[in-house]
Structure 1
Amino acid sequence: MEAKKALQRDWSSLPVEVLNLIAKKLSEISDFVCFRAVCTAWRFSTPSTDLLPQFPWILVKHQNKPDLSFYSIPSNKIYSIHASKSLGKWLYGPLEGYMLVNLNYQSLWEFGDPFALTLQLSLLNPLNNHEILLPAYDFEGLPYRFSCMGEYVFSYGYADYQTPKLVFWHLGQDNWCELNLSSDYVNCKHICLKSMIFNVERETGVTKVIDIATGTLVYVIPPIEGYSAVGSEFIVDAFGDILRVFQHDDPYTGLVYDTWFDVHRLEIMENGSPCWVKVDNIGNQAVFVDSYNCFVLRAHDFAGIKRNCIYFLTRISHGEEAPLYGVERIDIMTGAREHLPCPLKEPKSWFVPSLLSL
């Protein structure tokens, strides 16, 4: 009789306080979604804002299909998400729970002359299919790359096929902003961050910092000691600090075991001059790196993230038929590295899952 009563119990009548306690224990987004799908009462008692911050997912390189595949390291699960608005497009990210979406180069040629095409970029949250259209902009010449950094989307191209130009958009702006650069900035890595543009000269490693609002040169930062042009350069906002993360790659192999990182923090000396200072401890933070992006998270906000580490997607081996890719975690202080399981054949980029809409 007691068992029969238990089966007939109306679980939807659980007190809201109890439901909230249960929801806050669900660290995996799939469990949270299933919990909210039980009944109307459970859904309305647990808003999307109750979802715990999620360990970044890994987006696999996708073909011309509307379904995206993501891998979750903590749960060891692959999620297939139907995102029709990503069909035939490139995805970059992450940016505030969204990814930057634009037509891939094959699609550009299908639409005609890509050099005369006005691209329609957007931000897409693949989990709820919410899309934010960016302002239209007539790019003069095909931009070689779009990037997301912090709250900025930017591209580097040429104003008249000779003069270098940065075009950038800040989250919430109504229009793109333009900044024509001198020939001194042709061979530079350009990064928009905290209302500044950091231009790193590839050959010398000198960093020139330009104020976005005025276009004036603010700082010239000397190169880091032992600078090498072989590798990938990232400058990121680390919750108030500005970090320069350099990924050294062996030019002959490009394999994971021939990759290492240096981390520097921007500091202002007593005489007012800026410099990059090498650090081996970034405290309760972790850095995530892929081929295009780099971002920093607070480790204590995310279940499973190890502090003072770098997580990066990389190629482990070339393989006879296809290269083998994986995820590596490196302790910044000790240099100790650990291979993390990843069943994806070709991981493309990190994505921080969120159910919220901007």
Structure 2
Amino acid sequence: MSYWSDLPPELLDLVATTFDTPSDTRHFRSVCSTWRSAIPRSLPTFFPPIKFLNSDVHHCDLRLTKHSFFHISLSFDNDAPGWLIKTEEHNPGVFHLFNPFSRTLIKHLASNLPRKLDLTDFKIRELGYEYVLRNVTNVDFYNMEHEKVAVTFLNSNHVNDYVILSTHNTGKLLMYQSNVEAWTFLDDYTLGYDDRSIFVNDWSLHYVDVVEFNGTFYAVTNSGRTVAIKVVDSSVKVTLLKNSIIGGDKKCLVKLADDLLMVDLYTDTTPGLVKVHGVEIFKLDKEEHKWVLVKSLGEHAIFLSNHSSFAAVGLKGCKGNCIYFHFKNLENKDFGCPEIREGSSDEMDNFAWKSDEVGVFDFENGFFGKLEEYLEDSQLFSWPPPDWITSARMI
């Protein structure tokens, strides 16, 4: 039998196609020089500044940054306690810590939290990631940090060849192509046709979420209108999904394993407040190019907030087939109806959250419940960090 480092390149390529996260690629390439040279390096963590809309008036530069969700546990035993965090690699090997449910940087770390961790002491799982467009010139005129952002790389051998798709506060979609270094609004005449080739231009074209899935962008409005956007050689091809999901009025796109889901929230609106009273979930039928109602999430759990959405399976104490909400607004007054507070983004991002600010929707039974009933005393969302983190061996 051949030595493991002498595996043929085509077999290594086949193995690499099964990787779910950049962490998997990094671990694979760390095995030996042969494996490192056989597989292209992970997608970049650091991006050069991008001049927003090529404007010289306000001299506004944006930087595309990547936030990664990690689950840290003491061992590979599924019964070991875990901790959920979100990080941004500020410099190589130097990470900023964020509230996992928002984009708030935790500036004041617990005094007993090790500044360096020996990762051989822990099991690290990357659950997902998100991209953020951060203003690096302190010009508030172009604030994109609270918009939804998706990125696709057009050439695996050239990591600087990428496309960004972002929502905008006007409800339009913005696209940036690195090869031409230019931003463009995707106009109504590009996106505004229905499946009968009839032009549509109304409030339904207010896009609220975007995601990259298998090299294609998907964007959805709160009225459920969904477009698939594919970029090939700088040309943009738009396909309208066959059915709009009209039911609820707040839509969130979530990648779950090999599927793309849309979570449809039914809400009641009062001034400055939205109460969730129902949830439906749909899966993208990739062959028919339409949304199909989902009856169960299986063992998976979905995590939703104003900024982030991701799915996970096998987290200790975290019940599957549930949706965990964090909208910084539950206040434990009416737990039957989790609330979404509108208004100040600073207020929404305040990190001083408690367990009663996280709501859970039991998808199997169809009702909302308290976090304590669905987390089994897990330290998953604890802050300050759990004792087994703060007592860890430092390097």
What is the TM-score when the length of structure 1 is the normalising length? 0.50
State the identity %. 19
Matches within 5 A, 1:145-294: 145-147=146-148, 156=166, 165-167=174-176, 180-184=184-188, 185=191, 187-194=206-213, 195-202=215-222, 204-214=223-233, 215-217=235-237, 219-229=239-249, 231=250, 233-252=251-270, 258-268=276-286, 273-294=288-309
**Correspondent of 1:296 among 292, 308, 311:** 311
> Per-residue deviation at 1:67?
1.7
Task: Tell whether the 8 Å contact from 2:241 to 2:290 is kept in structure 1 after alignment.
Answer: yes
> Per-residue deviation at 1:334?
1.7
Partner of 1:332: 363
**Correspondent of 1:310 among 323, 339, 344:** 323
Find the aligned partners of 1:308 and 1:59 in 2 and give their Cα distance: 20
| Residue aligned with 2:268, SS | coil
Find the aligned partners of 1:149 and 1:95 in 2 and give their Cα distance: 18
Find the aligned partners of 1:304 and 1:54 in 2 and give their Cα distance: 9
Find the aligned partners of 1:284 and 1:219 in 2 and give their Cα distance: 32
Find the aligned partners of 1:60 and 1:162 in 2 and give their Cα distance: 23
Find the aligned partners of 2:104 and 2:315 in 1 and give their Cα distance: 30
Find the aligned partners of 2:271 and 2:318 in 1 and give their Cα distance: 29
Find the aligned partners of 1:188 and 1:61 in 2 and give their Cα distance: 20
Identify if the C-alpha distance between structure 1 residues 151 and 196 changes in structure 2 by more than 3 Å, giving closer, same or farther: closer
Q: Deviations over 1:130-189 (max 9, x none)?
A: xxxxxxxxxxx443634466989956378xx999522489xxxxx898663432256223
| Residue aligned with 1:235, SS | strand
Task: Tell whether the 8 Å contact from 1:60 to 1:68 is kept in structure 2 after alignment.
Answer: no
Structure 1 residue runs of 5 or longer lacking an equivalent are 1-27, 33-47, 70-78, 84-93, 116-140, 170-174, 348-353
| Residue aligned with 2:269, SS | coil
| Residue aligned with 1:249, SS | strand
Find the aligned partners of 1:166 and 1:196 in 2 and give their Cα distance: 13
Query: What is the identity, as a one-letter code, of the residue corresponding to 2:207?
Result: C
> Per-residue deviation at 1:191?
1.1
Query: What is the identity, as a one-letter code, of the residue corresponding to 2:174?
Result: K
Say what the alpha-carbon RMSD is for the aligned residues: 5.1
Identify if the C-alpha distance between structure 1 residues 240 and 310 changes in structure 2 by more than 3 Å, giving closer, same or farther: same
Task: Tell whether the 8 Å contact from 2:165 to 2:175 is kept in structure 1 after alignment.
Answer: yes
Find the aligned partners of 1:282 and 1:95 in 2 and give their Cα distance: 20
Identify if the C-alpha distance between structure 1 residues 339 and 291 changes in structure 2 by more than 3 Å, giving closer, same or farther: same
> Per-residue deviation at 1:311?
0.8
The number of aligned residues is 241
**Correspondent of 2:108 among 63, 67, 73:** 67
Identify if the C-alpha distance between structure 1 residues 333 and 178 changes in structure 2 by more than 3 Å, giving closer, same or farther: farther
Find the aligned partners of 1:178 and 1:53 in 2 and give their Cα distance: 46
Structure 2 residue runs of 5 or longer lacking an equivalent are 1-70, 86-98, 116-124, 154-162, 192-204, 334-346, 348-352, 376-380, 382-388
Query: What is the identity, as a one-letter code, of the residue corresponding to 1:180?
Result: T
> Per-residue deviation at 1:293?
1.2
Task: Tell whether the 8 Å contact from 2:209 to 2:221 is kept in structure 1 after alignment.
Answer: no
> Per-residue deviation at 1:218?
5.2
Identify if the C-alpha distance between structure 1 residues 164 and 258 changes in structure 2 by more than 3 Å, giving closer, same or farther: closer
Partner of 2:144: 143
> Per-residue deviation at 1:276?
0.9
> Per-residue deviation at 1:240?
0.8
Q: Which has the larger radius of gyration?
A: 1
Find the aligned partners of 1:285 and 1:154 in 2 and give their Cα distance: 28
Partner of 1:56: 84
Partner of 2:66: none
> Per-residue deviation at 1:246?
1.9
Q: Deviations over 1:219-257 (max 9, x none)?
A: 31144454343x2x2222211111111223321177786
| Residue aligned with 2:227, SS | strand
